[in-house]
C-alpha cells in the first residue's frame, strides 16, 4: 500500500539521499540495477532509466515525494505480474503481484461483467485482444514493456510510455553467409540460457517435449554444462517423445527424465485451486493442462522451470508466406506451399494460397458467419489485419494488440509458479534474441517449406545426426491432460460440477452459433466454472 499524499518511511523501500524519489521492488536485483542507473545519470528522471537493458523479470515502483507522482514499470514480456488499484476514499495506491494481494485491501470488489462477457465470446470468435483491464472493476495490470505514470491530484491522470516494443520497419540484418547468422543466433541462445539459469544453477527443471524449441534449449544447456531435471508429458496420442529420446542419447550430460502422465490429474481440483490463486477466472487456460508438470516440479524442489514457449513467436514459422502473398510473388508462394503441404490436395492448396494473397476475402467470409449469430450483439468481431510485412505481424503478436496469447500465458503461469515455489523462465523470449530474430530477413526464418531455419541449423551443427533437419511437429502440446479433460467433458463426467454455471445467457448465444467448435465450448464452460 502506498499513501499518495504522505511521505514514505517503509523499510522495504530504497531512498537515494540526493533525490526526492523512493524506489520499491520485491526483487533486490532490481534495486541494485536502479542504483547503478542513478549513479550514471547527471539529472534523474524515471523515464531516463534504461529498463530495456534489464532482461530479467521485474516489477518496480518509483515515487516522487514532492510532486506525488508514481511510476509503475514492468519487464519486457511481463514475466513478473503487476496489478494495481487506487482506493478513492483514502487516496492510497494498492499494488501487488496477484489479484488476491489487491482484493484483500479493497472493500467490496466488483466483477467487471462486461469484461467477463467479452472474454467468453471472444474465445469462440478467436479474436482475443490484449487489455490492461482485469476481471475486476478499477483493478488493472501494468502493461509489459511500459512505464505507467500516475498523478492523483487534483484528479487521477495516467500517462503511458513504451520503453520497449518491436517496431515495424526496423532495418533488417544482412550478413554475407548463413554461417554468420548461425553464429549470432548461437551466441544469443547461449546468453539467454545462461541468464535464465544463473539465479539457481543447481535447481533447474525443464519442460521437455522433444520438439525443436526445447531440444535447442537442452542442447545449449548441455554445451554450457548446466544440469537440469527434465519433465515430459506422457499420453496415449502421438507426440514428439521419439525425437527427445534420440536427442538424449547424443548429449554429453546424463539428464534425469521424469515421464509425467495424467493418471492423477483432477481437473476440478486444479480449477478450484486456481480460482483461489486468481480470485476467479483466467483469460487463458494453459496453466490448467500443465498442472501435472507443475506438481512434479514442485515435488522435485526445483526453483527455476525452463520452457520452450516463444519459439514460434520468436523464430517465426510463418515467415515468408504472407510476405510472398503481399508482394504478389505467386510462383514462390506456390512452391513454398507445395513443399510444405506434401500430400495436401491441390484444391486445398489453392484455397490456402487465395487466403494468403487476398487476406480480406477470408476476413469477409468469417465476418458474414459471425453476423448469423447473436454473438454480434456482444460486439465480438474478428480482428484481422492484412499485414504488409512480417515485422508488422510479429510486432502485433508479440508486443501489440494481438499479444493476448503470449502475455496471458506468461502472466498466469507466473502466478501459478509463484504459488508453488518456483519461477518460469523462457530462453526463447530473451529480449536481445527476440530483437535479433525480428530483424532477420524472411529467408533466414523459412525457406521452401522448412520453418525455424536457424534453430534447425543450430541443432544440426551441435548433433552428429540430422535428426532435426526433417523434424515435423506432431501430437498435442498436452498429450495426457488435455485429451483426458476433453473426454471427461464429452462423456458427461463433469456434468455435476458444470450443471449450474453463471453467464448462461452468454452461453445460450454462443451455442446458437453453429460454427463454434466443441473445444471452444469446452473452454467457455471451464472459465464459467471459475467464476462460480
Q: Note whether 498 and 532 are within 8 A (CB).
A: no
- Examine residue 125 and state whether it is found in any structural domain, yes or no: yes
Could you tell me the residue range of the domain that residue 461 belongs to? 178-317+384-476
- Residue 43 CA, chain-centre distance (Å), reads 36
- Residue 40 CA, chain-centre distance (Å), reads 33
Domain count, the chain: 3
pLDDT at 35: 81
Please give the C-alpha separations between residue 363 and each of 318, 396, 487, 510, in angstroms, as whole numbers.
18, 17, 32, 20
- Examine residue 217 and state whether it is found in any structural domain, yes or no: yes
- Examine residue 525 and state whether it is found in any structural domain, yes or no: no
Q: Which of 162, 194, 218 corresponds to the end of one domain?
A: 162
396 and 469 belong to one structural domain: yes
- Examine residue 517 and state whether it is found in any structural domain, yes or no: no
For residues 465, 469, 475 and 477, what is the CA-based torsion angle, rounded to 10 degrees?
Answer: 90
C-alpha cell at 217: 534449449
Strand order across the 69-74 sheet: 13-15, 21-25, 59-64, 69-74, 146-151, 157-162
Cα–Cα dist 371/367, whole Å: 6
**Which residues are CB-contacts of 329 (< 8 A; sequence separation ≥ 6)?**
none
309 and 390 belong to one structural domain: yes
248 and 336 belong to one structural domain: no
pLDDT per residue over 130-187, tens digit each? 999 999 999 999 999 999 998 876 677 889 999 999 999 999 999 999 999 999 999 9
- 3-class DSSP state for residue 448? coil
- Examine residue 502 and state whether it is found in any structural domain, yes or no: no
299 and 390 belong to one structural domain: yes
Burial group, residue 110, by CB count within 10 angstroms (0-12, 13-18, 19+): exposed
pLDDT per residue over 251-260, tens digit each? 988 899 999 9
74 and 200 belong to one structural domain: no
**Radius of gyration of the chain, Cα coordinates, nearest whole angstrom:** 24
pLDDT at 512: 75
H or E element in which residue 324 lies:
helix 321-326
- 3-class SS string, 286-317: HHHHCHHHHHHHHHHCCCEEECCCCHHHHCCC
262 and 398 belong to one structural domain: yes
pLDDT at 377: 42
Cα–Cα dist 386/392, whole Å: 10
202 and 306 belong to one structural domain: yes
pLDDT at 381: 45
Strand order across the 304-306 sheet: 257-260, 229-233, 204-207, 304-306, 423-425
Sign of dihedral through CA atoms 243, 245, 246, 252? positive
147 and 19 belong to one structural domain: yes
C-alpha cell at 69: 507522482
- Examine residue 487 and state whether it is found in any structural domain, yes or no: no
Average pLDDT by consecutive 10-residue portion of the chain (532 residues)?
Answer: 54 64 77 82 80 91 84 95 85 88 88 90 80 95 96 79 95 96 97 95 94 93 96 75 84 91 94 94 87 97 96 68 61 67 63 67 61 46 63 90 93 96 97 95 79 88 75 68 91 91 88 73 92 91
305 and 184 belong to one structural domain: yes
Cα–Cα dist 407/430, whole Å: 14
21 and 154 belong to one structural domain: yes
Nearest to 240 by CA among 228, 232, 231, 250: 232
Amino acid at each position: 500500500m502506498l499513501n499518495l499524499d504522505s511521505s514514505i518511511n517503509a523499510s522495504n523501500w530504497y531512498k537515494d539521499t540526493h533525490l526526492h524519489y523512493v524506489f520499491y521492488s520485491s526483487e533486490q536485483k532490481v534495486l541494485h540495477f536502479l542504483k547503478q542507473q542513478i549513479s550514471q545519470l547527471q539529472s534523474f528522471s524515471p523515464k531516463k532509466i534504461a529498463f530495456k537493458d534489464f532482461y530479467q523479470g521485474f516489477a518496480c515502483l518509483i515515487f516522487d515525494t514532492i510532486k506525488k507522482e508514481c511510476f509503475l514499470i514492468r519487464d519486457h514480456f511481463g514475466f513478473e505480474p503487476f496489478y494495481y488499484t487506487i482506493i478513492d476514499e483514502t487516496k492510497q495506491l494498492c499494488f501487488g503481484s496477484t489479484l488476491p494481494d489487491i482484493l484483500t485491501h479493497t472493500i467490496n470488489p466488483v466483477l467487471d461483467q462486461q469484461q467477463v462477457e467479452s472474454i467468453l465470446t471472444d474465445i469462440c470468435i478467436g479474436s482475443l485482444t490484449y487489455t490492461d483491464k482485469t476481471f475486476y472493476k478499477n483493478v488493472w495490470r501494468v502493461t509489459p514493456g511500459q512505464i505507467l505514470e500516475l498523478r492523483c491530484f487534483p484528479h487521477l491522470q495516467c500517462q503511458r510510455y513504451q520503453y520497449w516494443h518491436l517496431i515495424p520497419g526496423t532495418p533488417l540484418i544482412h550478413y554475407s553467409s548463413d554461417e554468420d547468422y548461425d553464429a549470432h543466433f548461437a551466441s544469443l541462445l547461449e546468453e539467454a540460457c545462461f541468464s535464465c539459469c544463473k539465479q539457481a544453477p543447481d535447481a533447474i527443471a525443464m519442460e521437455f517435449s522433444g520438439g525443436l524449441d526445447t531440444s535447442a534449449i537442452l542442447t545449449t544447456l548441455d554445451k554450457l554444462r548446466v544440469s537440469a531435471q527434465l519433465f515430459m508429458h506422457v499420453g496415449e496420442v502421438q507426440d514428439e517423445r521419439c525425437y527427445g529420446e534420440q536427442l538424449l542419447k547424443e548429449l554429453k550430460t546424463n539428464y534425469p527424465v521424469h515421464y509425467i502422465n495424467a493418471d492423477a490429474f483432477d481437473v476440478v481440483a486444479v480449477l478450484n485451486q486456481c480460482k483461489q490463486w486468481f480470485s476467479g477466472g483466467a483469460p487463458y487456460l494453459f496453466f490448467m493442462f500443465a498442472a501435472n508438470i507443475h506438481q512434479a516440479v514442485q515435488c522435485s524442489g526445483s526453483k527455476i522451470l525452463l520452457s520452450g514457449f516463444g519459439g514460434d513467436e520468436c523464430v517465426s514459422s510463418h515467415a515468408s508466406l504472407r510476405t510472398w502473398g503481399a508482394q504478389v510473388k505467386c510462383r514462390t508462394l506456390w512452391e513454398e506451399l507445395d513443399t510444405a503441404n506434401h500430400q495436401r490436395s491441390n484444391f486445398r492448396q489453392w484455397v490456402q494460397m487465395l487466403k494468403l494473397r487476398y487476406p480480406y476475402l477470408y476476413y469477409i467470409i468469417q465476418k458474414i458467419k459471425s453476423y448469423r449469430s447473436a454473438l454480434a450483439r456482444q460486439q465480438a468481431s474478428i480482428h484481422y489485419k492484412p499485414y504488409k510485412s512480417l515485422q508488422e505481424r510479429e510486432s502485433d503478436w508479440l508486443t501489440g494488440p494481438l499479444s493476448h496469447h503470449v502475455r496471458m500465458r506468461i502472466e498466469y503461469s507466473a502466478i501459478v509458479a509463484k504459488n508453488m515455489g518456483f519461477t518460469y523462465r523462457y530462453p526463447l523470449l530473451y529480449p536481445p534474441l527476440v530483437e535479433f530474430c525480428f530483424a532477420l530477413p524472411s529467408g533466414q526464418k523459412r525457406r521452401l517449406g522448412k520453418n525455424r531455419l536457424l534453430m534447425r541449423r543450430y541443432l544440426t551443427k551441435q548433433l552428429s545426426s540430422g535428426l532435426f533437419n526433417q523434424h515435423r511437429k506432431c501430437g498435442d502440446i498436452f498429450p495426457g491432460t488435455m485429451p483426458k479433460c476433453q473426454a471427461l467433458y464429452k462423456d458427461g463426467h463433469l456434468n455435476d460440477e458444470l450443471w449450474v454455471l453463471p453467464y448462461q445467457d452468454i452461453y445460450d448465444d454462443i451455442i446458437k452459433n453453429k460454427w463454434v467448435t466443441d473445444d471452444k465450448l469446452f473452454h467457455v464452460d471451464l472459465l464459467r466454472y471459475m467464476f462460480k
